[in-house]
A and B are shown apart, each in its own frame.
Chain A
Amino acid sequence: MPIILNLDVMLAKRKMRSNELAEKIGITTANLSILKTGKAKAVRFSTLEAICEVLECQPGDILEYVNEKN
């Protein structure tokens, strides 16, 4: 997938652990792991909103587009 979720970077910046974030946004750690490893096919706006709210950031801080051809 050319879309990458930089959740690890934001978590490190906010000094927050994965399970803490999962608990705050109301998803399971397994689902958060799917997001972090890039296996997710889609992210709901509600999930993105919750992540941005908890991590106090913009969607652009988490999502990144990488051209796979290069």
Chain B
Amino acid sequence: MKKLHLLKTIVDFIWIMSLFCYPLILVFAVMVLIDKEPFDIPITMMGTHVDINNTWGKLALALCLANFGLLLYAVYFFRKLLKSFSNREIFEGTTCHLLDKIGTLVMVSSFIYLLTDLISNLKHGDISIQFGYGPFLYLLALGLFFKVLSEVFTMAKTMKEENELTI
């Protein structure tokens, strides 16, 4: 279980850092969005360059913030999942539920990322079709992986119950 403790430490670090950073970013973003003066400093959020001097840019920034919030919520559930793993509560209903929730959040986040990417490309006026790997595909695959893992854990839970009730 050393690996689990290491993972838990890393996730705890990410969670604590995000808890400090997210409110600051939120306040800063609200101030920038409300301010009528042009903002010349380039902003890059989650790999997307955001130019907030027009409505599309402001919308992209708001979407990026919402996406960050969603991923933070997924990290919160992931911490809960790791905590239940360290308490040896592995094939339980709550574990399956948490995995499903994380999967859904990551999948929604991937679609928001796609939308943000589309908006930031639209405002530049360059509409193009790009093939290849991108964060959208990785996030979508990760979300689906958690969903599949949830189903596998549900099956394992049923098998565990059957094993316990075999006399």
Q: Categorize the interface residue count of chain B.
A: under 10
- How many A-B residue contacts, CB cutoff 8 Å? 23
Residues of B within 8 Å of A47, CB to CB, are: 167
Cα A32 to Cα B167 in complex, Å, equals: 8
Main secondary structure of the interface of B (DSSP, over half): mixed
CB distance from B143 to the nearest CB of A (A): 33
Interface string of A32-48 (1 = CB under 8 A from B): 10110001111110010
Complex Cα gap A35–B165 (Å): 9
23 A/B residue pairs, CB under 8 Å, sorted by A: A27-B167, A31-B167, A32-B167, A34-B165, A34-B167, A35-B167, A39-B165, A40-B165, A40-B166, A40-B167, A41-B161, A41-B162, A41-B165, A41-B166, A42-B162, A42-B165, A42-B166, A42-B167, A43-B166, A43-B167, A44-B166, A44-B167, A47-B167
Residues of A within 8 A of B (CB): 27, 31-32, 34-35, 39-44, 47
